[in-house]
Amino acid sequence: MTTQVDVSIEPIKQIAIEAGRKILEIYEKYADLEAITERKADNSPLTLADQASHTIISERLMALYPQIPLLSEEGKHTAYEIRKEWDRFWLVDPLDGTKEFIKRNGEFTVNIALIEKNVPVLGVIYAPVWNLLYYGIHHLGAFKETPGQTPVKLQVNNKQNLLTAVGSRSHADPAEAEVLNKYDISGTTSIGSSLKFCLIAEGKADIYYRHGPTMEWDTAAGQSIVTAAGGQVQDASGNIFTYNKPSLLNSSFLCQGF
């Protein structure tokens, strides 16, 4: 499978798995994950695992596609004046759900997305503890796979009643309930990281409204997968959620499996 720019997804899946296995090595090696955690300037957590995963992903992607620039949460953030000229780029969160990683609940992922003309067109999400891969390519479909086994094609529920809402485990915002009240919600679930998008893509949830802050690398791979499974991610005006904005901080968004 390839995107419009002939990027094959197979090596990207392998890179996400390799990075995830490195994260798992660290997860299993240190009894106290807080002890390997530093705080960034914004007080968000950064562990050895985030950094090790970043190194693997950036080295592999740059070797494979030296012509495609890369923006990673843990790498150098190229100035907007330069990146606004990028027609396509890799957008990477080497460890999404660092709080869940530290809490050891398995709800963290490696996220790799390819952005073309400010829209995510390919996304890979790997959950190392569950050894589960989710991936999607624009116009070609979304899939869930245990590495080495036959992939399962994903399709959103596409229903508008009795919806299951999904939200953040560690960063829920009271303003989210207000928007969700407009829908016919029959149940709510919480999960860390971009796994929220995966649940929508596979029809285990239908709606995810995010009011609280996220960064572009938190949502790009998930958006590719949801979109490829037949869902959508929209901004507050109802337009498709776009990337490579002057600030990498996302605005609120609504992800729906219908």
Ligand X SMILES: Nc1ncnc2c1ncn2[C@@H]1O[C@H](COP(=O)(O)O)[C@@H](OP(=O)(O)O)[C@H]1O
Minimum separation from the CB atom of position 146 to Mg ion (A):
23
Query: Residue count at the site for ligand X (CB under 6 A)?
Result: 15
Tell me how far apart the alpha carbons of residues 236 and 230 are, in angstroms, rounded to a whole number: 20
The residue (of 2 and 44) whose beta carbon lies closer to ligand X is 44
Q: Which position has the token pair 């299993």?
A: 28
List beta partners, residue 208: 255
The nearer residue to Mg ion, 109 or 256, going by C-beta atoms, is 109
Measured from the CB of residue 255, what is the shortest distance to ligand X in angstroms? 11
| Binding at 171: pick from ligand X, Mg ion, none (beta carbon under 5-8 Å per type) | ligand X
Q: Which of 96, 116, 176, 206 binds ligand X (CB under 6 A)?
A: 96
* Beta carbon nearer to Mg ion, 74 or 183: 74
Report the residue from 9, 23, 71, 97 that binds ligand X according to the rule CB under 6 A. 97
Structure tokens at 107: 């709800």
Site for ligand X in 52-91 (CB under 6 A): 73
In angstroms, rounded to a whole number, what is the distance separating the alpha carbons of residues 210 and 45? 20
Tell me if 203 contacts ligand X by CB under 6 A. no
Using CB under 6 A, which of the segments 142-150, 210-218, 229-237, 240-248 binds ligand X? 210-218
Residue 96 assigned to a binding site:
yes
Which residues within the stretch 140-159 sit at the binding site for ligand X (CB under 6 A)?
Answer: none
Cβ proximity to Mg ion, 129 vs 163, nearer residue: 129
- Near ligand X by CB under 6 A: residue from 105, 170, 242, 251: 170
List residues forming the annotated binding site: 73, 93, 95-98, 218
Which residues lie near ligand X (CB under 6 A)? 44, 73, 93, 96-98, 168, 170-171, 192-193, 213-215, 218
Known binding-site residue numbers for substrate: 73, 95-98, 218
